[in-house]
Chain A
Amino acid sequence: MSPPAVAGSKVRRDARDAIVIRFSGDSGDGMQLTGTQFTMEAALSGSDLSTFPDYPAEIRAPAGTTFGVSSFQIHFGSTDIMTPGDELDVLVAMNPAALTVNLQDVRVGGLVVVDTSGFTPRNLAKAGFESNPLESDLLNPYQVMPLDIATLTAAAVADFGLSSKEALRSRNMWALGLMLWMYGRGKQATVDWLQKKFAKAPAIAQANIAALNAGHAYGETAELPEHLSAYSVTRADLPPGVYRTVNGADALAFGLIAGARSVGIKQLFFGSYPITPASTLLHALANLRPLGVVTFQAEDEIAAICSAIGASFAGALGVTSSSGPGLALKTEAMGLAVSTELPLVIVNSQRAGPSTGMPTKAEQSDLFQAMYGRNGEAPVIVLAAATPADCFEVAMEAVRLAVGHMTPVILLSDGYLASAAEPWLVPDLSGLPSGSVQYAQPTEGFHPFKRDPKSLARVWPTPGTPGVEHRIGGLEKSYDTGNISYDPDNHAKMTKARAEKVARVADDIPLQEVDVGLDRGRLLLVGWGSTYGPIHRAVLQSREDEGLDVSFIHLRYLNPFPKNLADLLRGFDRILVPEQNTGQLTAILRSTYLVDAQVLAKVTGKPFMVSEIRSAIRATLEGGQPS
Chain B
Amino acid sequence: MTATSPLPLKAKDFATDQEVRWCPGCGDYAILKAVQKVLADLGVSRHNTVFVSGIGCSSRFPYYMETFGFHSIHGRAPAIASGVKLTNPELDVWVVTGDGDGLSIGGNHMLHVLRRNVDLQILLFNNEIYGLTKGQASPTSRRGTRSPSTPFGSIDPALVPALFALGAGARFVARSIDTAQAHLAETLKRAHAHRGASFVEIFQNCLVFNDAVFEGFTARDTAADTQLLLEHGQPLLFGAERNRGLRLQHNSLTLEIVTVGENGVTEADVLVHDQTNRTLAALLAGLPQPAFPMALGVLYDHPATTYHEELQAQVARESEVGPPDLESAILKSNTWTVA
A residues adjacent to B (C-beta < 8 A): 40, 43-44, 46, 189, 238-246, 254, 257-258, 261, 267, 269, 271, 288-292, 294, 296, 298-300, 302-304, 306-316, 318, 332-333, 335-336, 340, 426, 429, 462-475, 483-484
Contacts and interface: CB of A to CB of B under 8 A. Distances in A.
A464 B111 CA distance: 28
Given A46-B338, A240-B338, A291 B91 contact: no
A76 B173 CA distance: 61
B268 interface: no
Contacts of A238: 338
Given A245-B333, A469-B46, A303 B326 contact: no
A242 B86 contact: no
Residue of A257, A267, A289, A473 with highest tally of chain B CB at under 10 A: A473
Interface string B45-57: 1111110100000
B80 A306 contact: yes
Interface stretch (B221-229, B292-300, B310-318): B310-318
Given A463-B68, A471-B70, A307 B108 contact: no
A133 B90 CA distance: 69
A243 B112 CA distance: 42
Given A257-B326, A470-B69, A242 B63 contact: no
19 contacts: A239-B338, A244-B333, A269-B87, A271-B79, A288-B322, A303-B109, A306-B109, A307-B80, A307-B83, A307-B86, A310-B79, A313-B80, A316-B87, A332-B73, A464-B47, A467-B47, A473-B62, A474-B72, A483-B18
Contacts of A483: 18
A189 B334 CA distance: 8
B81 interface: yes
A311 B329 contact: no
Contacts of B318: 289-290
Interface of A is mostly: mixed
Contacts of A335: 73
B241 interface: no
A501 B54 CA distance: 27
Contact of B323 (A291, A340, A468, A475): A291
Counting contact residues on chain B (CB < 8 A from A), the size range is: 35 or more
Contacts of B88: 314-315, 462-464
B1 interface: no
A304 B78 CA distance: 11
Given A189-B334, A244-B331, A254-B326, A473 B70 contact: yes
Nearest to A258: B326
A296 B80 contact: no
B63 to A, nearest CB: 5
Interface of B is mostly: mixed
A46 B336 contact: yes
Interface string B33-46: 00000000000011
A467 B68 CA distance: 10
A340 B47 CA distance: 19
Nearest to A473: B71
Nearest to A271: B83
A240 B329 CA distance: 21
A582 to B, nearest CB: 32
A267 B70 contact: no
B87 A310 contact: yes
A467 B130 CA distance: 36
Contacts of A189: 334
Residue of A291, A307, A470, A472 with highest tally of chain B CB at under 10 A: A307
Given A44-B336, A257-B326, A315-B87, A310 B81 contact: yes
A300 B18 CA distance: 34
A311 B338 contact: no
Residue of B50, B63, B87, B334 with highest tally of chain A CB at under 10 A: B87
Given A244-B330, A464-B48, A469 B67 contact: yes
Given A299-B112, A333-B73, A473-B71, A294 B331 contact: no
B112 A303 contact: yes
A518 to B, nearest CB: 31
Nearest to A240: B338
Contacts of A267: 87
A311 B87 contact: yes
Contacts of A332: 73
A466 B47 contact: yes
Contacts of A290: 315, 318-319, 321-323
B32 interface: no
Contacts of A473: 62-63, 69-72
Contacts of B76: 302-303, 306, 333
A243 B337 contact: yes
Given A44-B334, A271-B83, A299-B79, 9 more contacts: A269-B83, A290-B321, A290-B323, A291-B325, A296-B83, A298-B79, A309-B72, A315-B88, A318-B83
A324 B334 CA distance: 33
A241 B18 CA distance: 60
Contacts of B333: 244-246
Contacts of B87: 267, 269, 294, 310-311, 314-316
Contacts of B111: 299
A288 B322 CA distance: 8
B82 interface: yes
A291 B84 contact: no
A265 to B, nearest CB: 11
Contacts of A300: 108
B66 interface: yes
Residue of B83, B84, B329, B339 with highest tally of chain A CB at under 10 A: B83
